Amino acid sequence: MSAADILLSAPPTLTDGEAKELARRFYGVDATATPLGSERDQNFRLRSDNGAQLLLKIANVAEDPESLRFENAALAHIAQVAPDFPVPRVIRTVDGSDMTRFEQDNDTYWVRAISWVAGRTLRDVPIDEALRRQLGSSLAELGRALRGFFHPAGNKQLLWDIRHTADLARWLEHIDDPSVRSLCEECIADFRSETLPQLPALRSQVIHNDLNASNVLVSDEPQPTITGVVDFGDMIHGPLVCDVAVGAAYQLLSGDDPLAGAIQFVEAYHRVNPLEPGEVGVLYDLIRARLVTTLIITAWRAGRYPENRDYILRNAHVAGAQLRLLCQSGATTATDRFARTCMPVRSPTRSSGTDEAEKMLKRRQALLGPAYRLFYRRPVHIVRGENVWLYDAQGKAYLDAYNNVPLVGHCHPKVVAALSDQAATLNTHTRYLHDTVLDYAEQLLAMFPADLDRVMFGCTGSEANELALRIARAHTGNAGVIVSQNAYHGNTTAISQLSPSYEAPETRADWVETIPPPDTYRRATGASEDEVAQEFLAEVNAAIDRLASRGIRPAALLLDAGFTSDGMFRAPASALAGAAELVRKAGGIYIADEVQAGFARFGATLWGFELHNVEPEIVTLGKPIGNGHPLAATIVRHDILESFASRGRYFNTFGGNPVSAAVGLAVLDAFHADELARNSRDVGEYLQQSLHQLAGQFDIIGDVRGSGLFAGADLVTDPVAKQHATEKASQVVNDMRERGVLISMIGPKANVLKIRPPLPFKRSHVDRVIETLSAVL
């Protein structure tokens, strides 16, 4: 029998009554039988009175029974090695067989039953990025589950096996559109000479080989999760990467950049089942080959069944357009994109069990004590991160619109590779010579004004501020520090004094003074920029005076230019520069805490201080600088560092070690290469506009603040009284979490929604945030 026979042989045509009778006879089940569609077999849904359901499958008369045994054996293998992976289970007949047969009109029909998998098919659901990534990781899990499985029937001949693409050239004439035909011809020629010879050297195993939307079932939630992968009829033993290429071909988008969807899919696949460089190198060609296969086989079938032509060719137009765009983008660019996506990564963990959260909560309280806080009423148990997505233990995807630490995206492949390579080579400290820390220092300092020419490394933002404070005191000979009213700068003994948002006021040291943030919404309603600036300066002067009344002069004014924990405010253009001048006149210096504001968070400029035209004597960096690795930096003018260095030494065992420095370098590399500063500006603008638009529809949003990918929505109980809607903010944040979008709230009354995502955030992600927000408001 040729591989084409099965596609030409009509499916069986049993009546419902006959199916019901087979169910009773072979499976001892008394059930109603409802027919379901199938390209080459006949399937019935069996429902018995007690509600139990099964799927009865009558195979095409041309089907080789060995192929059916192959499918059954694969399902049994998956059930054994990956019991949580959602595939149907094989149901045995009353006499214990996993398949049986009956004769009709001199033909033999094979019959099987499998368990019913709940859910609707993915065909009926719009596929967004979250779902596309879930598909990628599910296929990867399936690939892992099947890698130890072997069956002789895996060697079967199948038209849809991409390796046979070149054989389909004989049917090219069936494609009507001459331009598509010649594209297919070109692809086949490339495939024959370039791709095919590489395939025998790649990993081979049993693969599903047909992850299309009809073969995936999903739950009925607003953010659906995959409940089943079905139809193992195209399974073969072949190159693993063919499975990825087939799945990715179904994720090509219809717009200008079809590859973008495939890349998301492949990226998610790679996280779970990392691809080898040779596999990545042929992905683009294999995706094209799959499109060619689809175009040729459907054209050929349309010729054989002219009455069904329109239906068979319904997707040909889109596939032709996608092939054209793929060919235009060129193999080198596409392969480069896949290669960047598939840098070496480690396999993630995936834990199971839904009651685990309760147990973990109890363990956590018992072990970590009561000072810690968790986010969300129903805390999230995250086990994996990737770009702007986080995944919980059940595989549910959350769009991360909150975390600024993963500046260049969660688990950025470049950062992960740099970290693991250096960790596998050497990790010591800054008391030995090492190039990497110098390279890193050089590249980091190059991002600052020339005067800021020395950098010292630490592990946390708190440490960076602690060091800045010591340097400021050594240089000025003064002790006092001015911070904003609800500031947060860190958790050491000294810096917690400078973090009123965490420290109870009665314990405030006498060397600390606070100033209100430039609150244009409540405090200075309707005031002009100039008035707000004047008031801000008056507050700084008053703080200097209060210190002086206790005999203390200021060593520093320490500010986060985004006034994040104060509720996110933007000071008028001249205010911070003016405040810095006042403090300098009183004997102090200006320290810019750029832990929040730095690395283009505000979109318009690289650093927060640049947005305010003020040049600090010291800049502190933390959190995002290491993309999650503990790394921080204090950047300082060399003349200011002199007085500190003349009195003592600085050593930080972990700060600036070779692994941290390699991470820091990789973060800078990704930040520049992925053009994240530009992205923060462009997408940030879109985020701000979208939030302003939403505020026009919902009175509860009293004010929208921030800039770039740093946005705040001040929720109020009514727009005139401007009472803080604290409870509502908490409800919104928790409801969004339930719908798979993570944000948080800030401000002294925790009523300001805080949206501050990793910088690779795209417009489609903003749309998702806004849609979800408007649904829960």
126-165 positions binding ligand PMP, by CB under 6 A: none
Q: Under the criterion CB under 6 A, does residue 488 sit at the interface with ligand PMP? A: yes
Distance CA 118, CA 121 (A): 9
- Tokens 């000071």 sit at which residue? 571
Nearer to ligand PMP, 269 or 488 (CB): 488
For residue 258, the one-letter residue type is P
Nearer to ligand PMP, 286 or 558 (CB): 558
Nearer to ligand PMP, 165 or 460 (CB): 460
Q: Under the criterion CB under 6 A, does residue 622 sit at the interface with ligand PMP? A: yes
Nearer to ligand PMP, 322 or 564 (CB): 564
- Tokens 């009455």 sit at which residue? 307
Q: How far is the CB of 518 from ligand PMP (least distance, A)?
A: 16
Closest CA to 591 of 469, 753, 693, 503: 469
Q: Pick the piece of the chain touching ligand PMP (CB under 6 A) from 83-91, 357-365, 485-493, 660-668.
A: 485-493
Q: How far is the CB of 407 from ligand PMP (least distance, A)?
A: 13
415-474 positions binding ligand PMP, by CB under 6 A: 460-462, 465
Are residues 632 and 458 in contact, defined by beta-carbon separation less than 8 angstroms? yes
Among 243, 386, 392, 560, binds ligand PMP (CB under 6 A): 560
Q: Pick the piece of the chain touching ligand PMP (CB under 6 A) from 197-205, 329-337, 483-491, 683-691.
A: 483-491
Q: How far is the CB of 366 from ligand PMP (least distance, A)?
A: 24
- Taking the C-alpha atoms of 499, 501, 506 and 508 in order, what is their torsion angle to the nearest 10 degrees? 10
Q: How far is the CB of 391 from ligand PMP (least distance, A)?
A: 24
Token pair of 248 as six digits: 């990715």
- Phi, psi at 33, each rounded to 5°: -115, 125
Q: How far is the CB of 626 from ligand PMP (least distance, A)?
A: 9
Among 12, 490, 598, 740, binds ligand PMP (CB under 6 A): 490
Nearer to ligand PMP, 60 or 596 (CB): 596
Nearer to ligand PMP, 486 or 772 (CB): 486
Burial of 31 (C-beta count, 10 Å sphere; 0-12/13-18/19+): buried
Nearer to ligand PMP, 33 or 711 (CB): 711
Residue 387: DSSP 8-state: B
Q: How far is the CB of 404 from ligand PMP (least distance, A)?
A: 9
Q: How many residues does the structure list for the chain?
A: 777
Nearer to ligand PMP, 564 or 627 (CB): 564
- Taking the C-alpha atoms of 33, 38, 41 and 47 in order, what is their torsion angle to the nearest 10 degrees? -20
Nearer to ligand PMP, 345 or 408 (CB): 408
What are the residues facing 206 on neighbouring strands? 237
Q: Under the criterion CB under 6 A, does residue 756 sit at the interface with ligand PMP? A: no
SS3 of 342-383: the string is CCCCCCCCCCCCCCHHHHHHHHHHHHHCCCCCCCCCCCCCEE
Q: How far is the CB of 373 from ligand PMP (least distance, A)?
A: 13
565-604 positions binding ligand PMP, by CB under 6 A: 593, 595-596
Are residues 674 and 665 in contact, defined by beta-carbon separation less than 8 angstroms? no
- 3-state DSSP call for residue 554? strand
Q: How far is the CB of 487 from ligand PMP (least distance, A)?
A: 8
Q: How far is the CB of 637 from ligand PMP (least distance, A)?
A: 20
Q: Which residue is nearest to ligand PMP (CB)?
A: 461
Nearer to ligand PMP, 490 or 588 (CB): 490
Nearer to ligand PMP, 479 or 746 (CB): 746
Distance CA 244, CA 260 (A): 15
How many amino acids of this chain bind ligand PMP (CB under 6 A)? Answer: 15
- 3-state DSSP call for residue 245? helix
> How does strand 589-593 pair with strand 554-559?
parallel
Q: How far is the CB of 617 from ligand PMP (least distance, A)?
A: 17
Q: How far is the CB of 514 from ligand PMP (least distance, A)?
A: 15
155-214 positions binding ligand PMP, by CB under 6 A: none
Are residues 43 and 20 in contact, defined by beta-carbon separation less than 8 angstroms? no
Q: How far is the CB of 627 from ligand PMP (least distance, A)?
A: 13
Neighbours of 136 (CB within 10 A): 28
Q: Pick the piece of the chain touching ligand PMP (CB under 6 A) from 7-15, 276-284, 352-360, 487-495.
A: 487-495
Are residues 337 and 259 in contact, defined by beta-carbon separation less than 8 angstroms? yes
Distance CA 401, CA 712 (A): 12
Distance CA 766, CA 757 (A): 10
Distance CA 479, CA 235 (A): 73
Residue 543: DSSP 8-state: H
Nearer to ligand PMP, 302 or 576 (CB): 576
Are residues 386 and 267 in contact, defined by beta-carbon separation less than 8 angstroms? yes
Distance CA 378, CA 588 (A): 46
Q: Under the criterion CB under 6 A, does residue 337 sit at the interface with ligand PMP? A: no
Nearer to ligand PMP, 491 or 726 (CB): 491
Q: Does an H or E element contain 590, and which?
A: strand 589-593
Nearer to ligand PMP, 274 or 630 (CB): 630
Q: How far is the CB of 493 from ligand PMP (least distance, A)?
A: 13
Among 623, 728, 739, 754, binds ligand PMP (CB under 6 A): 623
- Tokens 């029937």 sit at which residue? 153
Nearer to ligand PMP, 163 or 629 (CB): 629
Token pair of 737 as six digits: 């979490």
Q: How far is the CB of 596 from ligand PMP (least distance, A)?
A: 4
Q: How far is the CB of 620 from ligand PMP (least distance, A)?
A: 7
Are residues 524 and 447 in contact, defined by beta-carbon separation less than 8 angstroms? no
Distance CA 537, CA 539 (A): 5
Q: x-or-dash pattern for ligand PMP, window 492-531, by CB under 6 A? A: ----------------------------------------
Q: Under the criterion CB under 6 A, does residue 225 sit at the interface with ligand PMP? A: no
Closest CA to 761 of 274, 406, 263: 406
Are residues 397 and 389 in contact, defined by beta-carbon separation less than 8 angstroms? yes
Q: How far is the CB of 708 from ligand PMP (least distance, A)?
A: 16
Q: How far is the CB of 461 from ligand PMP (least distance, A)?
A: 2
Sign of the torsion angle spanned by Cα atoms 514, 518, 522, 528: positive
Distance CA 736, CA 734 (A): 5
Contact residues toward ligand PMP (CB under 6 A) are 460-462, 465, 488-491, 560, 564, 593, 595-596, 622-623
